[in-house]
Structures are given as structure tokens and as C-alpha cells.
Amino acid sequence: MSSDVFNAGLIGAFYVIIFICGFFLSRYGKPYPMALFTLHKLAAVAAVVYLILIIRRLHHSSALMTGESMIIIVTVLLLIITIVSGGLTSLDKPMPACFLWMHKLLPYAAVAATAVVLYGFMGKR
């Protein structure tokens, strides 16, 4: 198995864990079950860190075109906004509904952007 397929599969597995945990967290409501909430957060951190390592390695092994750099920036911004909106929705204080909707919708955009990044770099080194 090539490392590109392994990397995409591992990132995909992290996202599946994140989405499954998020689904159940939304069903349970506050206060969130600690184990499930922790798994959700740890999987998100692991996915982001691993994706950054992949992008960093690809950046050092080949020059990035402007379009590639832009999709990476968009992906990182989507991930950051998703994480921040998740942090805000998990607070005990009531937050505006827009943060909840952002946290429900942006993960799909982040997954799509991540897929574009990983697919665009497959075989490129």
C-alpha cells in the first residue's frame, strides 16, 4: 500500500471517528458524556496534526503552485473555524445559533477541502 493511500485512509478514519462522535454528542446534548467528548476532540486534534505533517512534508519535497497553496489555506481556515465554533458551542454559556450551525455545516466543507488537498498531492513528491 502506498503512503499516499495510507495517509488518505488515516485522515479519513479520523474524520469518521469525529463525525460519529459528533453525531452522538448532538443526540445526547449538554452536559456531554466525557469519554465521547474527549474522543471527539482528540480525533480532531490528531487529524489536524497529521494533515499538517503531510502538507509540511509535501511542501518540503516539491514547490507548491499558487492554486495548491490557496486550497491548503482554505482547508486550514475551515478546520480552524470548525474547531473554534465547536469550542464555543461546548461552553456552558448560551451562544448564538450561528455558531451551532457553523459547527454543523463547516465540517463537511472541511472534509471536502481536505479530500481535494490529499487527492491533489497523491503521487506528488
Question: How many CB atoms within 10 Å of residue 109?
Answer: 15
Task: Give the pLDDT score at 125.
Answer: 55
Kindly state the cell numbers that stand for 43.
480525533
Residue 11 and residue 42: Cα distance in Å, rounded?
13
Q: Are 103 and 85 in contact (CB under 8 A)?
A: yes
Kindly state the cell numbers that stand for 17.
471517528
> Angle 66-89/97-121 helices, nearest 10 degrees?
150
Of 34-38, 43-47, 56-60, least confident by mean pLDDT is 56-60
With a cut of 90, say whether residue 14 has pLDDT above it: yes
Q: At 18, is the pLDDT very low, low, confident or very high (cuts 50, 70, 90)?
A: very high
Per domain, the residue ranges of the chain are 3-121
With a cut of 60, say whether residue 1 has pLDDT above it: no
